[in-house]
Amino acid sequence: MASVNQKQRVVVTGATGQLGSELKVILEQDLSKECFFLDRKQLPLDQIMLIQDILAMYQPDVIVHAGAYTAVDLAESETVLADQVNHLATDEIAQYCRLHGVQLIAISTDYVFDGNSSTPLTEDAAVSPINVYGETKLKGEQAIQKWCPKAIIIRTSWVYATFGKNFVKTMLRLMSERDSISVINDQIGSPTSAHDLAKAIVTIINSDKWAGGLYHYSNEGEISWYDFAVAIRELKQLDCDIVAIPTTSYPTPAKRPSYSLLDKTKIKTVYGVEVPFWRDSLAACLDSL
């Protein structure tokens, strides 16, 4: 930890991603911190041997590891690269944190679950990923737990933001180009505003307590991708027919969990994090687009 008169040094990986970009907006306003936002050029997560040396240059008190290989379908064929970035790079970061007494907050995914649950998933629910992306993220979690058991791991789902590529932006584009689109209605979960997740992470960093372990965070509510698309259409008052289809009608290289609703009780209880309702957060994002 930083001393009393010294600024807390925070390193954020994946700085140009959705969450990294939202963290940058919030943290750059905090004068009590010296923050370093590392993108894939400054911290190439596929260059495993360089990672600890690069981190040492910044001497962080806290690392928020938001960088990841997130191309879920491509991961099925780019298995080595996905493993390097999501597992082996995370292993190096965790080792660095252990060696230097650095606090680590790492982002994981609902894709560590198989989707066979019918009730919201708690942090101790059994993990069993059904795609390569989920497998590599789970290995990353396990590496953190091995080297850095006091780290905080936050699993999240269906992330979107004003930054980067995501479902919300894709829907807006398709609805403006087409009279009709088809969207899957049998995968259930809750979207996550990257802005809300970034605020939750900053709440943890600024807290006077550090309670390591697994946490879940997504917005409140339970919907399908179809419901999500319909809400986007309604909020933007677009004129496009949205057809509900089953997953079987839209085959993808990677399987998706059919149910991955996360239980947020722990993060709300331990850190007093406020979790907005999904539709309110979507409306806020659409307003700022």
What separation in angstroms does the CA of 207 have from each of 36, 80, 200, 204, 233?
20, 37, 11, 5, 38
Pseudo-torsion of CA 223, 226, 230, 231, nearest 10°?
A: 30
Q: Which of 125, 90, 89, 122 is nearest to 104 (CA)?
A: 90
- Rounded-to-integer distance, Cα 213 and Cα 221, Å: 24
111 included as an active-site residue: no
Q: Is 62 exposed, middle or buried (0-12, 13-18, 19+ CB in 10 A)?
A: buried
Catalytic residue among 69, 133, 160, 259: 133
Residue 184 tokens read as: 């899957």
Q: Which helix (H) or strand (E) holds 55?
A: helix 51-58
Catalytic machinery residues = 133
